[in-house]
Amino acid sequence: MTQNDMILRHLKTHKRGITQADAVERFGCYRLSARISELREMGYEITTENETKKNRYGVPVTYARYKLEV
């Protein structure tokens, strides 16, 4: 099973979506945006939502959460 397959399956079963941190932890994928781009080229409608949260040092950081539109 490829990373694209695993990410697509995750997007289909988790309405919350996926972040880079999720992808590294679950699939060892360090280039999530590249995999999302490939899935989009395959015709899947995936949206990007930017979220901001404080990191462990209390500094605000912004990251992307990808969701599959159904």
User: Coil, strand or helix: which one is 69?
Assistant: coil
pLDDT reported for residue 70: 82
pLDDT reported for residue 44: 98
pLDDT reported for residue 23: 98
What percent helix, strand, coil does the chain show, rounded to 5? Answer: 40, 30, 30
Note the pLDDT tens digit of each residue in 16-61: 999 999 999 999 999 999 999 999 999 999 999 999 999 999 999 9
What ranges do the domains of the chain cover? 3-68
pLDDT reported for residue 42: 98
Distance between CA atoms of residues 5 and 47, nearest Å: 18
Distance between CA atoms of residues 54 and 60, nearest Å: 4
**Strands 46-54 and 18-19, sheet pairing:** unpaired
